[in-house]
Chains A and B, each alone.
Chain A
Amino acid sequence: MMMARRPLLALAICLAIVVALTAQTPANGQRIISLVPAATEMLFAIGAGPEVVGVSSFDTYPPEVATRTRVGALVDPDYERILTLRPTLVVVYGSQTDLVERLGRSRIPVFSYRHVGLPDVTTTIRELGARVGRMTEANALASAIEAKLADVRRRVSGLPRPKTMLVFSREVGALRGIYASGGIGFLHDLLVTAGATDVFADVMRQNVQVSSEQLLARAPEVILELWPSKGWSAARETQERAAWRQLPAVPAVRANRILMLADDKLTIPGPRVGEVAQALADALHGTAR
C-alpha cells in the first residue's frame, strides 16, 4: 500500500505545483498567450510581459520567455495547453484560421495579425497596445522605432547606395539553396532603410531562391548575409566566406564586400527592427558616420 501511495502523493504534489504556477494571475487580471515571437517581443516591450503566461515554442527573446509555458507555434498550437492557461487574449498569426475558430468556440478573445512590410511592425504595436490597455506605452515604443528608422534613413541619405543582395538562408559551406529578400517584405524595407539598393527590388516576392546564373547576372556589389547566432564562430565565418570564391565574377566577391551578421534578431519583425536597421547601416556604411 505504501508503494502505491507514494506515486499518488507525488502526482498530487505535481498537480498542486502545476495549479499553483498556472493560477498566478498578473496584477490586472490579464492572461495573454502569444504564438508569434515578434508579438511576444512587442508585448514585453510595451510592459505587458508580466501578463504573458504562454509563448510559442520558437520564442527566445526577451530572456524572461524561458519561464513561460510553451504552447506550440504556427502550425502546431497546443490547444489543450492554451485552454489550461485560461487566457484572456491569444495573439495569433493571420494564417492560423483553425485555431481562431476553435478559440472562438471557447469564447477566448483573439488578436490576429499579419505582417509584410516594415510599417506593419509599428502598426501592430499600436493595435496590440490598444488591445491590452497599454496605448501610451505602445505609442511611445512605436514612435521611438519610427524615430530610430528615420534617424538611420537620415544618416545614410546622400551616401552611395550599393546594389546589395540580402541573403537570409543558404546551405552551410556551399553556394546552393541561396534565399534572398525579394522586392517586398520587412527585410527588403530594412535593406532600403539602411542605405542599399536591393538587387531583387523588381521581384515582387518576399523571398527569392537565387540561382548561380541570377547571382552572376544581377551582379550585387555587396552581399549581406544573415546567419542564426547558434553555431556561429570565427571559423564558420572563414568557411562561409571561402564558399563565395567559387563565383569570382560577382562584384561583391571580387571587392571582398561580403558582410556577415550572425544574430537572431535580424530576421524578427518585432520591436528591435530599429536596432536591426542600425546594424545593417553600420555594416553597409561603417560605424563612423
Chain B
Amino acid sequence: MTDALRPETHPSQPRPHGPSPPHLLRAPLTRGLPIVALSFVALVASVGLAPFVGSTSLSFTRVFATHVPFGDNVDAQIFLLARLPRAVAAALVGASLASAGVVFQSLLQNPLATPYTLGISAGASLGAMLAITFGAAFPLAGVAAASLVGAFLAVLVVYALARARQHGLSTTVLLLSGVTLNAFFSALILFVQYLSDFTSTYRALRWLMGDLDVAGYAPILAALPFLIVAFAAFIWLARPLNLLSLGADAAGTRGLDVHRTQRVAFFSASIATGAAVSIGGPIGFIGIIVPHLVRLMVGADHRLVLPVSAFLGGAFLVTCDTVGRTVFAPLELPVGIITALVGGPFFLWMLLKRR
C-alpha cells in the first residue's frame, strides 16, 4: 500500500539547507481533488437523504409545515429529533473512525491497524459496562461519559507504557502494550459481565454491537469539542504523515519532528476514537475498510486519503445505519452487525490479495 511512498532520493535537487520533501509532497493535488469533492457530496447527500427513509411513513409536507407547533408535530419530531441527529451522529462517527484508522495505520506503520488496536475501544467498553451494570445502583455517570473516561484512561496507560523505555514513541511497544491492554480490559469486561444480572448483560452485549439512535443532539454536542480538536489535528497531520510513511529515520533526516508528529497522531486519533465510541459504541471495520478502499482510489497521499476517508467513512456508516433501521422495522438490526458483515469478507479479501 505504501509502495508509492518508498523513499525516493532526488539527486538532481540537492537541498543542503533545509528539508527535502519527497516528490509526493509537491505533487499536484489537482488529480485527486474531484474525488475529494465527490466524496464530500456523497457525505452531504447521505446525511440529507437518510432522514427521508425510516421504519414509519412520514408526511413530508407536515414535517416542514410551519403552521403546526413543533411540540404537536410528530412528523417533524421524528424527522428532526429521531432521524436527523441519528444521521449526523453516524456521519461524525464514521468520519472519525475512518480517519482515525488512516492515522493509526500510518503511525504504527501497519496496514492492519484499526482505531481499536491500541485498546481504546476496550477501555471505552469497560467504562460503558460498569455504567450499564452498576449505573442503576450508583448513578455516577451516564454510559457515554463512562465510556469516554474509560477510553481516555486506556490512552494514557498505553502512552505511558510506550514512553517508559525511551524518548519518543516506540511503535512496537505501542502495538504490544495496546494488544496486551485489549486483552486485559476484555478480561475485566468479562468479570463485570459475570457480576451483572441478565438484563444488564443483554444491554451490555447490545451496546457492543453499536447503536446510533442518539434521540436528540445532546450526545453529539457532548462529543463535538473532542472531534473538533481531533479533526484540526488531522488537517495538520496530512503532510507530516506523508513524511512519516518513509520511516521514522528517513522522515527525521528530512527535518520532521518525528516525536511531535507521533504524539499528535497518537492523541488526536485516540481522542477521535474515544469520542466516536462514546456516541455509537465500538462499531467495527469502518476504520479499516474505508481507508484501504480510499487508498485504492487516490493513492497514498494523506492530503487526499484523510479527507476522502472522513467523507466516505461518514457516508458509509450513514448508509449502513439506514439499512439497519429499516430492513426489519419496527425492530432494528444493530449497525455493528452490518459493518461487520460487509467488513469481515472485505478484510479477508484484502489479506489474501496482499500475499
Contact segment of B94-102, B131-139, B268-276:
B131-139
Q: Once the chains are docked, how many angstroms separate the CA of A280 from the CA of B22?
A: 73
Main secondary structure of the interface of A (DSSP, over half): loop
Say if the beta carbon of B198 comes within 8 Å of chain A: yes
- Closest residue on chain A to residue B73 by CB atoms: A249
User: Contact between A213 and B206 (Cβ–Cβ < 8 Å)?
Assistant: no
Chain B residues contacting A216 (CB-CB under 8 Å) are 74, 77-78, 81-82
B54 at the interface (CB under 8 A from A): yes
A74 CA / B202 CA spacing, docked (Å): 14
B142 touches A173 (CB 8 A): yes
Interchain Cβ contacts under 8 Å between A and B, 26 examples: A169-B203, A173-B139, A174-B215, A175-B215, A176-B213, A176-B214, A176-B215, A177-B143, A177-B211, A179-B203, A209-B331, A209-B332, A213-B54, A213-B56, A213-B83, A213-B213, A213-B325, A214-B55, A214-B56, A217-B74, A227-B136, A230-B136, A246-B218, A247-B81, A248-B77, A249-B71
List chain B residues, Cβ under 8 A from A173. Answer: 139, 142
Q: B55 contacts A211, CB within 8 Å?
A: yes
Cα–Cα, bound, A174→B203 (Å): 14
Cβ 8 A contact of B138, one of A209, A212, A231: A231
Chain A, range 229-248, C-beta contacts under 8 Å to B = 230-232, 236, 239, 246-248
Residue among A169, A173, A203, A213 with most chain B CB within 10 A: A213
A72 CB to closest chain B CB (Å) equals 11
Return B147 CB to nearest CB of chain A, in Å.
Answer: 12
Could you say which residues of chain B place their CB within 8 Å of the CB of A135?
none
Q: For window 106-150 of chain B, which residues contact chain A by CB distance below 8 Å?
A: 131-132, 135-139, 142-144
Query: Per-residue 0/1 for B213-254: is the Cβ within 8 Å of any A Cβ (1 yes, 0 no)?
Result: 111101100000000000000000000000000000000000
State the CA gap A211–B198 with chains docked (Å): 21
B72 within 8 A of A: yes
A236 nearest CB neighbor, chain B only: B139
Which residue of A is nearest B194, CB measured? A76
Distance to closest chain B CB from A205 (angstroms): 7
Q: How far is the CB of A196 from chain B (nearest CB, A)?
A: 19
Contacts of A254 in B (CB 8 A): 71
Interface size on B, residues (CB 8 A): 41
B18 within 8 A of A: no
Residue from the list B56, B78, B142, B216 in contact with A246, Cβ < 8 A:
B216
Choose from A172, A219, A247 the contact partner of B131 (Cβ within 8 Å). A172
Q: Which residues of B contact A171 (CB under 8 A)?
A: 132, 135, 142-143, 203
* B136, A212: Cβ atoms closer than 8 Å: no
Interfacial chain A residues near B197, Cβ < 8 Å:
58
Complex formed: what's the CA distance from A232 to B332 in Å?
Answer: 30
Q: Which residues of A contact B139 (CB under 8 A)?
A: 172-173, 231, 236, 239
Starting from the known contacts A212-B215, A216-B78, 13 additional A-B residue pairs (CB-CB under 8 Å) come to: A58-B197, A171-B142, A172-B131, A176-B215, A208-B331, A211-B325, A213-B55, A213-B78, A213-B83, A231-B136, A248-B71, A249-B72, A249-B74
Count of residues in A whose CB is under 8 Å from the partner chain: 38
Do the beta carbons of A211 and B142 come within 8 Å of each other?
A: no
Whether B207 is near chain A, meaning CB under 8 Å from some CB there, is yes
CA distance A108 to B72 in the complex (A): 62
Cα A254 to Cα B74 with chains together (Å): 12
Q: Is A168 an interface residue, CB under 8 A from the partner?
A: yes
Q: Are B199's CB and A168's CB within 8 A?
A: yes
Partner of A213, one of B71, B82, B199, B218: B82
Q: Mark A194-213, 1 if CB is under 8 A from B, else 0.
A: 00000010010100110111
Bound complex: CA A227 to CA B332 (Å):
24
Residues of A contacting B198 in the complex (Cβ-Cβ under 8 angstroms): 74
The residue of chain B having its C-beta at the shortest distance from the C-beta of A168 within the complex is B199
Q: Is A228 an interface residue (CB 8 A)?
A: yes
B16 located at the interface, meaning its Cβ lies under 8 Å from any Cβ of chain A in the complex: no
A78 → chain B closest CB, angstroms: 13
Cα–Cα, bound, A184→B83 (Å) = 28
Tell me, in angstroms, the Cα distance from A277 to B72 when the chains sit together. 33
Question: Once the chains bind, are B142 and A203 in contact (CB under 8 Å)?
Answer: no
Chain B residue with Cβ nearest A253? B71
Cα of A76 to Cα of B196 in the assembled complex, Å: 12
Q: List A contacts of B135 (CB < 8 A).
A: 171-172
Q: Which A residue's beta carbon lies closest to that of B332? A: A211
For window 131-171 of B, CB contacts with A under 8 Å fall at 131-132, 135-139, 142-144
Q: Give B144 Cβ to nearest chain A Cβ, in Å.
A: 8
How far apart are the CA atoms of A246 and B71 in the complex, in Å? 11
CA of A213 to CA of B57, assembled, Å: 11
Are A212 and B81 in contact, with the CB atoms below 8 A? yes
**Distance (whole angstroms) from the CB of B219 to the closest CB of chain A:** 8
Q: Is the CB of A203 within 8 A of B143?
A: no
- The answer to whether B82 touches A230 (Cβ under 8 A) is no
B34 within 8 A of A: no
